[in-house]
Structure 1
């Protein structure tokens, strides 16, 4: 599946529905034909029964009766097989289309420099699952709507042949029912959209709670966090009750109106028979069609509701897929030297930071203020679009803003301080792409060997969601191993050893320097061990570069530096 298929350029929910219908038109046409055949065959059953009764009452031949029964058997076979294969086609298309939109939302959410979505990760997850499924339901809704219309039309025409008022009653009653229900379906769509938003917010809240469970336990905030989630969840529950109530009223109204129409046709046909205007066989046909009409009328009357739900879900997907771009990636590639240059960058607490890293050099940035370190890491990782700050960042002598997304990912990797860990195995976390040739070296350099040796499975040891079965230090070392295994031309590490002991930190510092020898590396840190192995230390104070030199040179001449980094 190509990227253009998974991330179509859409702006509204209507466009999403049109795209879904357009690329499934063949499946929908086949499904409509088969489901129309199913409804037509079902409509033919009461017609044939009425003809058989009429034939028997008039004393027809037994052979002719046998042919009529054979025809009824063929009609029933058509009912069975057309339904089976029609629904198979439609459900396969529905499932495939839902998958496409799930991938589209996930693909857009994974674009770090391309889109800015005003939704939390938990909400995006809901959009990529529930909303994608409900949007794809339009693939089934339209064919079923047409098929139901076919059966209602056939029934109305046959009844009109028996008696014109009966046919007029069916068509007029259907129009009246749909008029009433169309107004009600709008309320359902609006209520469903609110419900989906509140459920998504509840999902986002519980996602945040799970991510912060350890610190919440640490300062005793678990109960307050639970109460906050309970309030959000209760809002979602109340809205779900509103939607269920509206749906219940809608379904009850539809059933009552459909039953009323069927009863009116049945009573009218009975009166016409009593008055001698139609025969007994025609009465059987009319009564059978009246009873049969309840099901297609029910299906037909429910379609506006499903259309509105699909539209509401498509509108929510459009929030992600049509979000305005944070920045427009460039078209250039970095130069071959692999150096990094930061020139007069002003962002957040940074007040004109300038320094350069030569190809193959290991440079440590000692930021006295943690916020300055975080702001610098955000700029280098392109988490902050270049257009929103002044100054220039160059990779391989090319401005970062002019580089393609793929080239930035290939040449520059910023390993964040929050060290994300994913469900899977240790190996999956160290080498997610399965292509690294430095897995063992990265594991050794990050001092992750004790974690591997602790379990019989080794690197195949299963890691729980968010690394719940690992300690903070183990998660940090696992994240560091992943960054080292990626072996980018330029690697930026932000506080990679804050959760390990001093001895392990010293070993990691030496290992990183050895493994990254000849590769450009920047370490944003206050760790003496990492500062000591760096070729050069850049001191960042008050948002400016105030000093540069080796760690030992700075210790000898700069009392403020000595006070800031000495432990």
Structure 2
């Protein structure tokens, strides 16, 4: 049964309510301790007023000692309640931010429906900054409540001295909240726009890093950098706008808080001058007028932080509520397994039909690159079932009936542009640390020269996206990772386009030998891989037009010979 915490939240409000519900214990403890802190802070000027009042009546050492003890108790309460209250709240805040980061990252790694336009750079921003800002609501609520406690205590204390002072604080606080709540809405709108523009800038950076080498190759790097500068400038201007709004908000809050404190001080002085309050009550009122600025400042800033948290939560909902490309089924595929596509119609694929028996090594020669990409998307389960017609069967079972996790374990589809991660050669080949095929995979992918080139061998450091590797080395590293996974079914898309002909010939033979007895599909135009396969399926205009061995097709099919001969 799916629990509320494991369901996909659909809105930012649901994310915030989930955050609050999960941390109600920590927030309750934090609220109590922060309330004690604010109560202690409020009690300090009240105690000073009482001390002045009683000292003027009873000038004894006992009264002085009692006053010192009372102040020490208040100071100790203030110190320890703040220390432990903030420790509890910040721990809960950090833990909750981690939960949302992990959850956003997990959703970002899963294929989602194509109508959700989120790039990797945007997901990264959402999983870091927005997750942190959403979790801040855990601290915002207790601070809001504790500030309210302080204002109430101050209001009651001043009201007991003079009804006029109590009403002044109540009316002033209401006016402050009314003014600032209107301004906080502008902050929320500006913040959402800033977060969106920063995310777009992050996505542009990710795209530039990915395509930096090709851009340098044809001289397009300057145009790309200008494009990024435009996006970054937009983000900068929006950040300045947000800073101005925040500055106006903070300045307005400080001014009206100071105005209220001044009004309370002057009113108390006037009342004392007229003899309506005592000197002790005047000292208390002046102290509270100074102190009340801190809780009022916190109280007035809370709407801003609530709006920021809500804006971040709504951006997280874009990822968390994104519909999956495929609804996982309950079943697992049988061991070994064959692959069958039956009248699949999607994109450039038209009634595509073919069958690969278990254990066969089949190459698919796709004349159109777009058709190959569409086929890879179908096999990788990156396309929602309702987005294509026909049936895909794995080991005789419909792919839609299989658990997506089980499908991934059974069949690996390795794209031609497989990502290389920061780490080492070893962690890129075996990310899980469980493969027993690393030596064989390294040898088969002809990665041995890269390993031997460095003193650290497989533990040689690899930069993000393989920046310190050549294109051919990155491609062979990606191939080694696919082979090391040792899945029952392996689908490779153009695994050797960046290597020389001799190396390609050796890799083709090695793949055929290493994968003997297990189902392997290679979508390629490489003569070496086509020749190593048991048979070749020719994919033209979205359908299989013919099949045979590579050498037979070379001798009998002129179109095929022109398409693949080098």
TM-score, length of structure 1 as denominator length: 0.97
Q: Tell me how far apart the structure 2 counterparts of residues 113 and 312 of structure 1 sit (CA, whole Å).
A: 22
- How big is each residue's C-alpha offset from its partner over 1:162-185, in whole Å with a ceiling of 9 and x where there is no partner? 111111111111111111111111
Q: Tell me how far apart the structure 1 counterparts of residues 533 and 48 of structure 2 sit (CA, whole Å).
A: 92
8 Å CA contact 2:194, 2:242 repeated in 1: yes
With 28-37 and 232-241 compared, the bigger mean Cα shift is at: 232-241
Q: Tell me how far apart the structure 2 counterparts of residues 426 and 6 of structure 1 sit (CA, whole Å).
A: 37
Q: Number of residues paired by the alignment?
A: 566
Equivalent runs, 1:217-232 vs 2, <5 Å: 217-232=216-231
With 322-331 and 198-207 compared, the bigger mean Cα shift is at: 322-331
- Does 1:195 find its partner at 2:194? yes
SS at match of 2:431: coil
8 Å CA contact 1:193, 1:312 repeated in 2: yes
8 Å CA contact 1:124, 1:320 repeated in 2: yes
- Does 1:564 find its partner at 2:566? no
8 Å CA contact 2:51, 2:67 repeated in 1: yes
SS at match of 1:16: helix
8 Å CA contact 2:110, 2:324 repeated in 1: no
Shift of 1:383: 1.8
- How big is each residue's C-alpha offset from its partner over 1:230-261, in whole Å with a ceiling of 9 and x where there is no partner? 11111111111111111111111111111111
Shift of 1:335: 3.1
With 483-492 and 526-535 compared, the bigger mean Cα shift is at: 526-535
8 Å CA contact 1:413, 1:488 repeated in 2: yes
8 Å CA contact 2:359, 2:519 repeated in 1: yes
Please name the residue that 1:126 is paired with: 125
Shift of 1:276: 1.2
Q: Tell me how far apart the structure 1 counterparts of residues 219 and 439 of structure 2 sit (CA, whole Å).
A: 40
Please name the residue that 1:342 is paired with: 341
Structure 1: state its 5+ residue gaps: none
With 88-97 and 367-376 compared, the bigger mean Cα shift is at: 367-376
SS at match of 1:499: coil
Shift of 1:4: 6.2
Q: Tell me how far apart the structure 2 counterparts of residues 287 and 150 of structure 1 sit (CA, whole Å).
A: 19
Shift of 1:135: 0.6
Shift of 1:559: 2.3
- Does 1:269 find its partner at 2:268? yes
- How big is each residue's C-alpha offset from its partner over 1:339-364, in whole Å with a ceiling of 9 and x where there is no partner? 11122222222222211111111001
Equivalent runs, 1:525-544 vs 2, <5 Å: 525-544=524-543
SS at match of 1:418: coil
The change in CA–CA distance for 1:474 and 1:426 in structure 2 (over 3 A counts) is same
- Does 1:321 find its partner at 2:320? yes
8 Å CA contact 2:26, 2:88 repeated in 1: yes
SS at match of 2:418: coil
Please name the residue that 1:405 is paired with: 404
Please name the residue that 2:425 is paired with: 426
Q: Tell me how far apart the structure 1 counterparts of residues 529 and 400 of structure 2 sit (CA, whole Å).
A: 30
Please name the residue that 1:184 is paired with: 183
Shift of 1:306: 0.6
- How big is each residue's C-alpha offset from its partner over 1:202-248, in whole Å with a ceiling of 9 and x where there is no partner? 11111111111111111111111111111111111111111111111
SS at match of 1:421: coil
Shift of 1:389: 1.6
TM-score, length of structure 2 as denominator length: 0.98
Shift of 1:382: 1.4
SS at match of 2:421: coil
Q: Tell me how far apart the structure 1 counterparts of residues 163 and 234 of structure 2 sit (CA, whole Å).
A: 53
Please name the residue that 1:166 is paired with: 165
Shift of 1:281: 1.2
Shift of 1:3: 9.7
Please name the residue that 2:509 is paired with: 510
8 Å CA contact 1:424, 1:462 repeated in 2: yes
Equivalent runs, 1:404-553 vs 2, <5 Å: 404-553=403-552
The change in CA–CA distance for 1:474 and 1:3 in structure 2 (over 3 A counts) is farther
8 Å CA contact 2:336, 2:488 repeated in 1: no
Equivalent runs, 1:350-361 vs 2, <5 Å: 350-361=349-360
Q: Tell me how far apart the structure 2 counterparts of residues 370 and 242 of structure 1 sit (CA, whole Å).
A: 45
The change in CA–CA distance for 1:258 and 1:56 in structure 2 (over 3 A counts) is same
Equivalent runs, 1:56-135 vs 2, <5 Å: 56-112=55-111, 117-135=116-134
- Does 1:253 find its partner at 2:252? yes
- How big is each residue's C-alpha offset from its partner over 1:379-438, in whole Å with a ceiling of 9 and x where there is no partner? 111122232122221100111122111121011111101121111100010001111110
